[in-house]
Structure 1
């Protein structure tokens, strides 16, 4: 017969656990020694310990609902009481009792929180209604209208109150929105009358813009077009369909003038185009440095390109972003090569990689010795476990050796 503080195995192989209520049978064991039987049922107990610890963690560190927590506690308690395991089952029950106190405390906290949430919801809706009543008298039609629509979404996001209070607040809210809508409608009716005057003003601006479209006085006409644009913006907006038509004519007149000016200016850009050709040649030279084979040589070559690049001068504006992007791409590639070289030659990183390989090899050697010893003793289970551990570590070792080989690449 074999025993430990929480259980025993009798001569017939029956296994018992000791509790505050006395001993009870948890099973029988005929496949091995009593010590192996107790070890098997202790592992069952250890599994229950893990379940208790996991439930404690869930209850204490997550937002698990009290009802769900209480159900989980009772379910686990039943499993422990009837468990076919050897260990201090009474201690696990006491831990569940303590956890039940935590759940009850959280239930009370939630009750208080719900009451507080209702109070906060009432305050939030009062603030929404008060702001809506203030906005009802606003003349900032766009911003106030958008804010009132946002307040509707805010209202929907706030939990409902009791029906009477909620209905009273909603009535005030709706009344404020109705007042604003009526005032805005009246305002835009007056605005339509003003837009007719805007239409006549913009027609005069369009006529002048069209008359200037054939001018060759580039500087003064450009300045006048800026003035016309300023007057256009200051005039306000006409009716939507008229506004779009006038705007298209206004822009078309400007486009004619500025296209003609652009053709003249293009003739003055020959120097920048020459600069572009020279820089294109430098880009070809810079891109020939890739892929990087020698970091120092590549860096020196790029430095030479950069010095000549700065001496050349400006290129046409539309070509500048693409050309600079190509040069920056070469710079990034060389910088990446420098960083890769540093990483591969870093003695601390290589030492860490070698240490990992050595540690895994030592672990494999030790496990192989343990497996051989277990096989010699006829313990197939321990031998098999050792072989499985060796196989896993050999996979890790292969990966670690690959990492180490990178430092000699």
Structure 2
């Protein structure tokens, strides 16, 4: 690239006494314009600036072509445009040098064109390699049995394929044919697999319906030992049957599980002599809870609530066990009563907390003091005729008064 020209204006131009400015080129001297009523230096400087603008335009074009920012077509168009601007330009400077620099861009442009061609070839090779890898993966997937992940991967590969540029038509079509064939093979195998699975699921449905039919009379049996073993055998056969169609499998299981529960619950009811005792304990505890909940909640008298809860807890704990399924509900209700009393205790402590009361008193005093200061400001402002300052202070008093009212309510809570 040719370096930028650095010469004094006198080397390439001159100015006549009437203000006409001339530029010297290899073709001779020619007039570029006239600036009357100005000094020679001013007139010359005006046309030198025009040359400097052209020189900057050439330099920018050189850099853009060198960096590859312009395509060969864009570069050729720009060279033609800038050359037209330089040729016969009304400017003072080394115009021949600029023209020579523009001419020197031809080999650079040819080099850039070749580089771009090489880049495109390299990109085409990279795209070809990528598509070949995708085809290889697709053909491998087509032979596999990943029916869920495979279909998602094929979808992703197809999206990636569409995003890639085309290469030469023959190669691109051949690769696409292989990719499409692999996808078709996978899809057919997948459909066949699902059809076989559907057939197996239908067989499983029939087996499970047979098991349920055998379980129905067993659910009414009172031969606890023998029937328990029979249900275990039925469960083993159920697991071995496999999955039925998804839309009926859950319903079949619910029916079979219900028959099992019917039998085993009946057995449990018969074998457990504690059921009646547990039920009686449950009734008694629920009765105690109902009474305690009515007496304690909401807590209005803390001392009375404490005494009532202690009495309730002693009676409640004295009763025996309850059925397992009722334990959580009872515990939650007892815990709710205990929390109600504890929260009332916390509220009472907060109300009588001397530190909190002191903070409330300090807040009331501080806000009252601020209002007094603002009142004094109003008096002084009105005395000097500053109504604006007085109004501003009144607005502040209104805000502080609102805060003060709230603080006084808080302080009053400590006296209730």
TM-score category of the 2 structures, normalised to the smaller one: 0.5 to 0.7
Q: What is aligned with 1:181?
A: 187
Deviation, 1:277, is 2.5
How far apart, in 2, do the equivalents of 1:359 and 1:173 lie?
Answer: 82
Secondary structure at the aligned position of 2:329 is classed as helix
Deviation, 1:324, is 2.7
Q: What is aligned with 1:371?
A: 378
Q: Which has the larger radius of gyration?
A: 2
How far apart, in 2, do the equivalents of 1:228 and 1:309 lie?
Answer: 44
> Which of 191, 205, 214 does residue 211 from structure 2 map onto?
205
How far apart, in 1, do the equivalents of 2:250 and 2:407 lie?
Answer: 69
> Which of 217, 224, 228 does residue 222 from structure 1 map onto?
228
Residue by residue, what CA displacement relative to the aligned partner does 1:58-94 show, whole Å, maximum 9, x if unpaired?
A: xxxxxxxxxxxxxxxxxxxxxxxxxxxxxxxxxxxxx
Q: Is 1:380 paired with 2:387? A: yes
Residue by residue, what CA displacement relative to the aligned partner does 1:349-376 show, whole Å, maximum 9, x if unpaired?
A: 2222221111111111011011011111
Closer, same or farther: CA 397–319 of 1 in aligned 2, 3 Å: same
Q: Is 1:326 paired with 2:342? A: no
Residue by residue, what CA displacement relative to the aligned partner does 1:223-272 show, whole Å, maximum 9, x if unpaired?
A: 43243123212211345688688667745754664575476469862211
How far apart, in 2, do the equivalents of 1:272 and 1:396 lie?
Answer: 59
Q: Please report the RMSD computed on the Cα atoms of aligned residues, expressed in angstroms.
A: 4.4
Q: Is 1:349 paired with 2:356? A: yes
Residue by residue, what CA displacement relative to the aligned partner does 1:306-348 show, whole Å, maximum 9, x if unpaired?
A: 3443332222344434333322221121121122112212222
The answer as to whether partners of 2:269 and 2:275 remain within 8 angstroms in 1 is no
How far apart, in 2, do the equivalents of 1:148 and 1:313 lie?
Answer: 62
Deviation, 1:278, is 2.0
Residue by residue, what CA displacement relative to the aligned partner does 1:17-42 show, whole Å, maximum 9, x if unpaired?
A: xxxxxxxxxxxxxxxxxxxxxxxxxx
Residue by residue, what CA displacement relative to the aligned partner does 1:177-214 show, whole Å, maximum 9, x if unpaired?
A: 66653332121233345446545644553343234233
Q: What is aligned with 2:238?
A: 232
> Which of 392, 403, 407 does residue 400 from structure 1 map onto?
407
The answer as to whether partners of 2:198 and 2:245 remain within 8 angstroms in 1 is yes
How far apart, in 1, do the equivalents of 2:307 and 2:151 lie?
Answer: 59
User: Following superposition of structure 1 onto structure 2, how do residues 8-407 of structure 1 map, counting pairs within 5 Å?
Assistant: 139-142=145-148, 144=149, 148=153, 180-195=186-201, 198=204, 201-202=207-208, 204-238=210-244, 250=256, 253-254=259-260, 257=263, 261=267, 264=270, 269-287=275-293, 288-407=295-414
The answer as to whether partners of 1:148 and 1:177 remain within 8 angstroms in 2 is no
Closer, same or farther: CA 218–330 of 1 in aligned 2, 3 Å: same
Q: How many residues align?
A: 275
Residue by residue, what CA displacement relative to the aligned partner does 1:80-127 show, whole Å, maximum 9, x if unpaired?
A: xxxxxxxxxxxxxxxxxxxxxxxxxxxxxxxxxxxxxxxxxxxxx99x
How far apart, in 2, do the equivalents of 1:407 and 1:180 lie?
Answer: 79
The answer as to whether partners of 1:286 and 1:327 remain within 8 angstroms in 2 is no
Deviation, 1:292, is 2.4
Deviation, 1:155, is 10
Gaps of 5+ in 1: 1-124
The answer as to whether partners of 1:286 and 1:301 remain within 8 angstroms in 2 is yes
Q: After alignment, is 389-398 or 215-224 more displaced?
A: 215-224
TM-score normalised by structure 1 residue count? 0.54
Deviation, 1:391, is 1.7
Gaps of 5+ in 2: 1-129
How far apart, in 1, do the equivalents of 2:398 and 2:246 lie?
Answer: 77
Secondary structure at the aligned position of 2:321 is classed as coil
Closer, same or farther: CA 188–162 of 1 in aligned 2, 3 Å: closer
Deviation, 1:221, is 1.9
Deviation, 1:137, is 5.8
Residue by residue, what CA displacement relative to the aligned partner does 1:284-309 show, whole Å, maximum 9, x if unpaired?
A: 34321233244355335424433443
How far apart, in 1, do the equivalents of 2:318 and 2:388 lie?
Answer: 78
How far apart, in 2, do the equivalents of 1:377 and 1:201 lie?
Answer: 103
